[in-house]
Amino acid sequence: QVQLVESGGGLVQVGGSLRLSCVASGRTFSRYAMGWFRQTPGKEREFVATIGYTGSSTNYADSVKGRFTISRDNAKNTLDLQMNSLKPEDTAVYYCAQQLTPYTALQPLSPKAYWGRGTQVTVSS
């Protein structure tokens, strides 16, 4: 029922930019907090950013603060991640997450969420 589909990943040079998108379906999108997480081979899933169900509240990992911007469009059921000033350490598969329960926050360190399949971001030096 719930489907999350990421897009926008690719290969980019250090200092470049990418914009990731996630299209959600199956539930009333505006009721659920959303987030972006990333993972590299052999490492645990890492929190990147979350956004509240209204879009007014955002939270970022220290490693991306000031460089990434999370946003949502509740009219279009979409979640975006604008990534600027990219670094090699940003290389990962990026996953879209939707909170399991409505009107609640997505917990960065212990997310209870539905997940997309991911989109690869590679930053070359």
Residues 6+ apart with CB under 8 A from 46: 37, 38, 39, 61, 92
- Write out pLDDT tens, residues 29-62: 999 999 999 999 999 999 999 999 999 999 999 9
- Closest residue by Cα to residue 81 from 99, 103, 59: 59
Residues constituting the chain: 125
pLDDT band at 67 (very low <50, low <70, confident <90, very high): very high
The span from the CA of 75 to the CA of 78, in Å, is: 8
| CA distance to 42, 102, 113, per residue, from 98 (Å) | 24, 10, 5
Half-sphere exposure of 110 (CA within 13 A, CB side): 0
pLDDT range class, residue 114, cuts 50, 70, 90: very high
- Report the pLDDT value the prediction gives residue 93, as an integer from 0 to 100: 98
Q: What gap in Å lies between CA 69 and CA 95, rounded to an integer?
A: 15
Can you give the pLDDT at residue 28? 96
Predicted pLDDT of residue 79: 98
Q: What is the pLDDT of residues 78-94, one digit of tens each?
A: 999 999 999 999 999 99
pLDDT of the residue at 96 = 98
What is the percent of the chain where pLDDT is above 70?
A: 100
Q: Are 50 and 69 in contact (CB under 8 A)?
A: no
How would residue 17 be classed by pLDDT, with cut points 50, 70 and 90?
very high
What integer pLDDT is reported at residue 95 of this predicted model?
98
